Amino acid sequence: MKAVNQQLARASISGYRQATGAPAARGTERVHSAGTIRRGFVVVPLAVLFMFSGVFFPADAAAKEGVQLAPLEGARPAQWRVIWTDDPAHRATVSWNTAAPGKEHRVHFKAAEAGEWTVVECDRNGRFTGREDSPVLYYHHCRLTGLKPATKYSLVMESDGTKSPEFYFVTAPDDDRTVRLLFGGDSRSDRPMRQKMNQMLSGLLADQPSIVALAHGGDYIVNGYNLAQWSAWMSDHELTATADGRLLPIVPTRGNHDFGPIFNEIFGFPQDDENYYGFNLAGDVRLLTLNTEVSTAGEQALWLEDELAHWRPKCEWLLAQYHRPAFPAIKMPSSAKRDWVPLFEKFNVDVVLEADGHNIKRTPPIRDGQVDSTGVVYLGEGGLGVKQRTPLSKRWFLQPPGFSSMGHHVQLLTFEKDRLTAQVIRYGGEVADESVIVPHERRQALAHAASARKPVALEQ
């Protein structure tokens, strides 16, 4: 396992350098590790810390000099994005913006093995909601359906005869192959850092083709009504594309700063949608996206219970993401603790992804308000370009075998049949934390075996 982790870290730092133009570190890369396994815990904090010669890259080396973002000019496509909210093995939303409304907007796409392009007209076009001083900006959403799982699709966006560069994305698989998911949140307040983090995501995607998407935990910008801030975020999102044109699909979560109608306009939700939904990242990996910015009780809680009851028997891995934490490293618990945590524990959810706190967190497995090897692990809390805060490490769920720290980062989750590996990758490539979770049935079996052990009398 250590060799695999070292290879992944080196691949990540290689992709980071490739994406950002940062110079290679001089000398030999050094790896320091200290593995610990606590009896009774199935989540194994490996505490692997990868330190490289030069340690961190200087801040001004991370961003490309004179980085070019697509200009917003007339009906020229820009601010492109692939959005997953439903069955990503067979569907995707391709979206972009223009400065002028235009009249005809379409996507040309084809599977890698196909010879001819298919053309699909956008089904939703409109002007973004904005204040009087907001920029004039138009969105275009094109729904692709009938796609094949685990397939590379080339695409070109076109508005009034002006075409984008050719890009591609890869649909989610529908079998139990190994997949990886990037998770991070809170990219709202430091634009240069957000750009650097996006370039790092591009490098990770280039080096790890099994990454399927970015699950964003919310708080993209400071003021949800400020279209200029959203426009800057969408332009910066272009930097997540790889050098060969692969687009990183985004799975959006609404955060407390993302109030107002623009969020739904950006990500193609219906106007009054409450932004909770679920789909499979792979045949045996189910991701549920929840919304802490509407009632966490009522209809949303009923929907969550139905989803968990239906999918727990069908999936090896069951996880949820939302913005405001139930087990926060800094703030007070959100209503998710009251309304959702009992359901997570009832249906043995494996991992919950939280944001909002602007730090790094991994709890031990939790059940009934205490550490329990059969419980739920909570990861978070956001570092995609927001100033970091010092976590309250004395909170019981942050003490060993839990983990807390700070620093701009992304979480990389690797789903295999017999294990889920969660890594925290800081800006610069340092793997600050790593943990391994085994499937829920295995966790329960190990706990039962441990509780059944009795002292054995020596033979007389």
CATH node for 179-447: 3.60.21.10
The single-letter DSSP state of residue 173 is P
Domain ranges in the chain are 78-170, 179-447
Q: Answer whether 290's CB lies under 8 Å from 255's CB.
A: no
Measured distance CA(416)–CA(364) in Å, rounded? 20
Position of tokens 């790889």? 242
Q: What radius of gyration, in Å, describes the C-alpha atoms of the chain? A: 22
Q: What is the pLDDT along the chain (460 residues), one digit of tens a residue?
A: 333 333 444 444 444 444 444 433 322 222 222 222 232 334 443 333 332 222 222 223 334 445 689 999 999 999 999 999 999 999 999 999 999 999 999 999 999 878 899 999 999 999 999 888 889 999 999 999 999 999 999 999 999 999 999 999 999 999 999 999 999 999 999 999 999 999 999 999 999 999 999 999 999 999 999 999 999 999 999 999 999 999 999 999 999 999 999 999 999 999 999 999 999 999 999 999 999 999 999 999 999 999 999 999 999 999 999 999 999 999 999 999 999 999 999 999 999 999 999 999 999 999 999 999 999 999 999 999 999 999 999 999 999 999 999 999 999 999 999 999 999 999 999 999 999 999 988 888 888 787 776 554 434 3
Sign of CA dihedral 393, 396, 397, 403: positive
Q: pTM for this one?
A: 0.86
**Residue 428, both tokens:** 């610069």
Q: Exposure pattern of 382-395 as b/e (b: 16+ CB <10 Å)?
A: bbbbbebbebeeeb
Q: Is 282 helix (H, G, I), strand (E, B) or coil?
A: strand
**Residue 57, both tokens:** 């890259």
Residues pairing with 410 in the sheet:
425
Measured distance CA(423)–CA(413) in Å, rounded? 6
Q: Answer whether 244's CB lies under 8 Å from 222's CB.
A: no
The single-letter DSSP state of residue 86 is S
Query: What is the 3-state composition of the chain as percent helix, strand, coil, each rounded to the nearest 5?
Result: 20, 30, 50
Q: Which CATH number fits domain 78-170: 2.30.110.10, 2.40.50.140, 3.40.50.620, 2.60.40.380?
A: 2.60.40.380
- Cα dihedral 312, 248, 19, 176, rounded to 10, equals 40
E strands of 193-304, at which residues?
A: 211-216, 250-252, 277-282, 285-289
